Amino acid sequence: MLHPVGPLPARVYWLRRAYVAAAVLVVLVLLWVVLPNGGGGARPDTAAAVSSATPESGAPTSLAATPPADDPGRAEDADPTSPGTSAASSTAPVVTARPKPAPPPVCPDRALSLQVRPERPVFRVGSSPRILLDIRNVSSLSCLRDVGSGQQEVVLWRGTGRLWSSNDCYPEDVRDVQLLRPGTALTFGVVWSGLSSRPKCAGTRTRVGAGTYQLVARIGTLVSRPAPLVLR
């Protein structure tokens, strides 16, 4: 079989055999390279190879292993409440308490106007006239003022004679502190029985007759201008 037989020269048959042998050799080499472990058995997967690393090699025992506590790459995961965490690593915002605003000041008399007026121009003798007090903030600032009944008084005059006061028989000491804004007004009402009176409701009270009288009101130390009250 080694001696070529055929109509062609022997050299041709030897070349054919050489080509075939070379092709077979190339196929064997490729199989050896492609097959794992040179065709000697199954190749272990990468995950198994990593997990089998020895502790002495310095490689982690798993791809998901937690880095050591001093790993600089874990700084953002540090617990701000732990003793080992520096103040610079805390991201909690610093809340500064705002100071409470100061309350508005007490209204001085010059910041207010007070007006007294009867509810009607003329009242019948024996009736119970209703008298109104208007207090207004005429300043440019808001302020506080006690306008309670303990600060209010209406007095009825005939010339220089004092005939009646709203505090003679019904004194009160009720506080009512109000915030008065610029330009705003408060109105209060007082009902007069039509009888005369003295301080502490002393003496006998008598019916006031027809005539023109003067009303003067006050709230604390603020006193109004006189206003007429007519009885017929």
State whether 118 and 224 are in the same domain.
yes
State whether 124 and 196 are in the same domain.
yes
Q: What is the pLDDT along the chain (232 residues), one digit of tens a residue?
A: 555 555 666 666 667 677 777 777 777 767 766 665 555 544 444 333 344 444 444 444 443 444 444 444 444 444 545 454 444 455 777 777 788 888 899 999 999 999 999 999 999 999 999 999 999 999 999 999 999 999 999 999 999 999 999 999 988 889 999 999 999 999 999 999 999 999 999 999 999 999 999 999 999 999 999 999 999 9
CATH at residue 168? 2.60.40.10
Parallel/antiparallel/unpaired status of strands 222-223 and 152-158: unpaired
Burial 16-35 (b: 16+ CB within 10 A, else e): eeeeeeeeeeeeeeeeeeee
State whether 47 and 122 are in the same domain.
no
The amino acid present at 23, given as its one-letter code, is: A
Domain count across the chain: 2
State whether 47 and 114 are in the same domain.
no
* Contact by Cβ (8 Å): 50, 63: yes
The amino acid present at 107, given as its one-letter code, is: C
Instruction: Look at residues 23, 45, 62 and tell me which one is the last residue of a structural domain.
Output: 62
Task: Identify the domain containing residue 25 by its residue range.
Answer: 6-62
Burial 205-228 (b: 16+ CB within 10 A, else e): beebeeeebbbbbbbbebebeebe
Residue 77 lies in a domain: no
State whether 39 and 152 are in the same domain.
no
Residue 224 lies in a domain: yes
Is the whole-model pTM more than 0.75?
no
How is residue 82 written in tokens? 């732990």
